[in-house]
A and B are shown apart, each in its own frame.
Chain A
Amino acid sequence: MKEPGFVVAVGPHIHSGNSVRDMMLHQIIALLPAVAAAFLVFGADTLRVAAIAMGSAVFWDAVLQKLFKRSLSIGDLSAAAGGLVLAMLLPATVPWWVVVLGTLVMLLLGKHVYGGLGCNPFNGVLIAYVALLLSYPGLVGDYPVPTSDMMMTQNSPLLELKDKGAEFLDETFPLQDLFLGSTLITGTIGEVSKLALLLGGLFLVLRRKISWIIPAGFLSGLAGFAAVFWLIDPETYASPLFHLLAGGSLLGAFFLATDWTTSPVTKTGMALFGLVCGVMTMAIRLWSQWPEGAYFAVFMVSMLTPFFDKLRPKVFGSKFGSHRQVQF
């Protein structure tokens, strides 16, 4: 008698349920506190930018998938999550067409020309950010005064540091305000509340969606490097705590450097990658014409990822010799 076809396949026969969609959903949820904080500070413009970014990213993803004859997979939410992260890097006043252009760059140059999700050497969000910042420095690099009519601009903490030095930083930007977010401090949408970012980041780490190693390496590299200068000359250099809380340190550490595809896969690789990102962030903040270095740093250090990926653990039992001269 023929049995009613059972499936015959190689194991494992169960699956953890991990998926790209699940990861991206977690990332979106993790950013909600930051969006809420930005809403309190910048008002409805926050939601406008976030919605345009997410919507246009999904739209471009679908269009490009058609164009490149790939199967439609906007359901994996990778475009939506990428759009939201990009919105985090933009000021609330950014015009809509800049956002739409940004998401196009993100999906074209950060995904589809390389062959789709997972084939890109750089984080699409950062490609888009860099492209926008270089093309429209005024629109993307200037930050509005919160709660005003948003027509004036104001210095972000890091720009203030660049322009006026560390002397009056503590009075202008109390650490507590930097941490919680405040209408006295401007920046991009995602830079408002460090508490919100920390909550989101910890959520991702605790749900094991991202590795804790990269953010830990990033933040300790950044704080360590800042501390060296601060200890030498606290008058000229800002404190490590200021550098941790100002600008995009936490955003970069938890949401950009941890990008699956462009970060290393081994623990040693991740640790070094994080450290170098942190140090590089500080180097840019100290010695370049740009006030903020976190995003550039991640972008540049991810070029080294293939090198970090060479730092592999020793195979089980390899003390006895290499597995490569197998006798079988």
Chain B
Amino acid sequence: MRPGKMRGGIRFSHPLDGLSSPFEDLPTPSVVTVALQQDRSGVCALRVKKNDVVLAGQIIGESPRPNGASIHAPISGVVTELIKAFQDFHGRMVPAVVIESDGAANPCEIPADTDPLAAVQQAGVVCFDHKTDPLAAKLEEARSRKVGTLIVNALDGEPLLSSRARLLLEQAEAIAAGIDALKKILDLGRVILTVDANAAEAIAAATRAFSGAVQILPLRNRYPQAVDYLLVQRALNVEIPYSLGVRITDIGALLVDVEAMAAVGRGQPVVERFISVATGKGHVKNLRVAIGTPIRAVLEHCRITPEPGGKILAGGPMTGTALSGLDQPVTKEFAGVFVQGRSEVVKLEEAVCIKCGRCVEVCPMRLMPFLISGFSEKGRLAEAAQHDLFACIECGCCTYLCPVRIPMVQFIQFAKGQLMAQRKGV
């Protein structure tokens, strides 16, 4: 099977350092803080009261949408506090539940005779990518559009993250079970697994577990090919525009990552995430972490002492979100933690573009980043939109290569925000 050609992007030299590092269990934290919005379906309705005793896997926040992902208690214990306005790492104010552990046990199973789609919904599975859509909603949509192709993605989203590849290696059976569950929901004619071509052991594990029912598509490491529409292009050779409201299901395909498939396959509520921890010096550990665990505990376990003036990122080094403090809890939206020391922090400045063309060469969406960012910087928003501002996926490749270090992604985000606000105001 020949992959679609990718234009632009960056081949990083340290793509899969963490593949050989097994997931360690982070000891159950004594206190977790669970935000009640962890995906795009909105704020979940609170289902517990203060001082309630909860069991791991019990629903504590119910999704406002029928097929949304509910939020479960990650550990057993007592609800000690209900926070009305907790600032999550996106800066949103959301309610949160604080649970103090009583030291017990694994999450409850979802009964095996549950309808497969309902089971996915009850488990609160989301797509563990940068959009975190609830999986059940996506499956419902896919079913109504008669989707016949499933793409299961084991490519990690960013350099220094390796959790997807490692998960494929360790939990190929669970992933296979997840694919089987999806086959009961959708009429799948074709299943494609995209995996890093360098992850030989993971490919071997997948070959054993999937026994030929899945086409394995090894792709050479190239950031940001794991972003949804780019990946669909690699796997199916169809380019879907990023911002026109055309959806992947419109071409009869569905894209799901391996972590979501493993969660479906395990048949338990989602109460944990598999993350990679890395610093500016490279990969540190792969961890299995209960949702709600404060970043502080993660870093302590990894023996990382963050420096003032440094950066703590939720996600990877290219698109991660910088955290303001160590008390932020892990959510379903975390793929990793990346820690930078003070000296490693990159300073971007408002410099004059010298028109070297590096950004144009590297942009995977084939935009003119220097133009968009230049117009955005000067507040010429209409012109920025004319030059396809909204096709930008904010991957950061342009800024990464720019010799004068113009913070293009920042300008682009700003312009997008302004234009959206204008549009809403009308």
Q: Which residues on A are within 8 Å of B, measured CB to CB?
A: 3-16, 18-20, 22-23, 115-119, 211, 260-261, 263-267, 270, 312-321, 323-328
- Report if B396 contacts A (CB, 8 A): yes
Among A261, A263, A265, max chain B CB count under 10 A is at A265
Q: Are B311 and A13 in contact (CB under 8 A)?
A: yes
CA distance A8 to B320 in the complex (A): 11
Point out the residues of chain B lying under 8 angstroms from A4, CB to CB: 308
Sorted nearest first, the 4 A-B pairs with minimum C-beta distance are: A317-B241, A118-B354, A12-B396, A265-B357
CA distance A323 to B243 in the complex (A): 6
CA distance A328 to B392 in the complex (A): 14
Instruction: Taking A118-B404, A266-B357 as given, write out 9 further A-B residue pairs in contact, using a Cβ cutoff of 8 Å, ordered by the A residue number.
Output: A5-B308, A13-B322, A261-B356, A264-B357, A265-B370, A270-B357, A312-B366, A323-B244, A327-B244
CA distance A270 to B423 in the complex (A): 38
Q: Are A8 and B239 in contact (CB under 8 A)?
A: no
B325-359: contact bitstring with A at CB < 8 Å (1 yes, 0 no)? 11100000000001010000110100011111110
Given contacts A11-B396, A12-B318, A13-B322, contact A6 B241 (CB under 8 A): no
Interface set, chain B 381-426, CB cutoff 8 A to A:
385-386, 388, 390-391, 394, 396-397, 399-405, 407, 409-410, 413, 419-420, 423
Q: Are B346 and A12 in contact (CB under 8 A)?
A: yes
Q: Are A6 and B324 in contact (CB under 8 A)?
A: yes
Q: Are A312 and B368 in contact (CB under 8 A)?
A: yes
Point out the residues of chain B lying under 8 angstroms from A323, CB to CB: 241-244, 388, 390-391
Contact of A10 among B366, B409, B419 (CB under 8 A): B409
Return 20 A-B CB contacts under 8 Å, by A number. Answer: A3-B324, A6-B308, A6-B322, A6-B325, A11-B317, A13-B340, A14-B346, A18-B403, A20-B404, A23-B403, A115-B352, A263-B357, A265-B370, A267-B361, A313-B366, A315-B367, A320-B241, A320-B244, A323-B390, A326-B244
- Report if B245 contacts A (CB, 8 A): yes
B386 to chain A, nearest CB (A): 6
- Report if B229 contacts A (CB, 8 A): yes
Contact of A265 among B323, B327, B368 (CB under 8 A): B368
CA distance A323 to B7 in the complex (A): 19
Chain B residue at minimum C-beta to C-beta distance from A14: B317
Q: Are B405 and A324 in contact (CB under 8 A)?
A: no
Point out the residues of chain A lying under 8 angstroms from B355, CB to CB: 118, 260-261, 265
Q: Dominant SS at the A interface?
A: loop
Q: Which residues on B are within 8 Å of A, measured CB to CB?
A: 7, 229-230, 233, 239-246, 280, 306, 308-313, 317-327, 338, 340, 345-346, 348, 352-358, 360-361, 364-368, 370, 385-386, 388, 390-391, 394, 396-397, 399-405, 407, 409-410, 413, 419-420, 423
CA distance A313 to B387 in the complex (A): 12
Number of contacts between A and B (CB, 8 Å)?
Answer: 182
Q: Are A315 and B365 in contact (CB under 8 A)?
A: yes
Contact of B391 among A11, A19, A260, A315 (CB under 8 A): A315
Point out the residues of chain B lying under 8 angstroms from A18, CB to CB: 358, 401-403
A306 to chain B, nearest CB (A): 10
Point out the residues of chain A lying under 8 angstroms from B340, CB to CB: 13
Given contacts A317-B240, A326-B390, contact A6 B312 (CB under 8 A): yes
CA distance A265 to B320 in the complex (A): 29
Point out the residues of chain B lying under 8 angstroms from A313, CB to CB: 7, 366
Contact of A16 among B327, B366, B400, B420 (CB under 8 A): B400
Contact of B352 among A13, A23, A119 (CB under 8 A): A119
Given contacts A9-B311, A313-B366, A317-B242, contact A14 B390 (CB under 8 A): no
CA distance A89 to B61 in the complex (A): 73
Given contacts A6-B308, A13-B320, A315-B391, contact A321 B244 (CB under 8 A): yes
A76 to chain B, nearest CB (A): 9
B391 to chain A, nearest CB (A): 4
Given contacts A8-B324, A11-B318, A265-B360, contact A316 B365 (CB under 8 A): yes
CA distance A115 to B280 in the complex (A): 37
Q: Are A328 and B420 in contact (CB under 8 A)?
A: yes
Chain A residue at minimum C-beta to C-beta distance from B367: A315
B257 to chain A, nearest CB (A): 20
Q: Are A13 and B338 in contact (CB under 8 A)?
A: yes
Q: Are B353 and A324 in contact (CB under 8 A)?
A: no
Point out the residues of chain B lying under 8 angstroms from A116, CB to CB: 352
Q: Are B312 and A20 in contact (CB under 8 A)?
A: no
Point out the residues of chain B lying under 8 angstroms from A318, CB to CB: 239, 241
Chain B residue at minimum C-beta to C-beta distance from A313: B366
Q: Are B311 and A6 in contact (CB under 8 A)?
A: yes
CA distance A9 to B388 in the complex (A): 24
A116 to chain B, nearest CB (A): 6
CA distance A7 to B340 in the complex (A): 10
Chain A residue at minimum C-beta to C-beta distance from B340: A13
Point out the residues of chain A lying under 8 angstroms from B413, CB to CB: 10
Point out the residues of chain B lying under 8 angstroms from A263, CB to CB: 357
Q: Are A14 and B365 in contact (CB under 8 A)?
A: no
Q: Are B352 and A10 in contact (CB under 8 A)?
A: no
CA distance A118 to B370 in the complex (A): 12
Among B340, B390, B391, max chain A CB count under 10 A is at B391
CA distance A3 to B308 in the complex (A): 8
Among A3, A7, A14, A328, max chain B CB count under 10 A is at A14
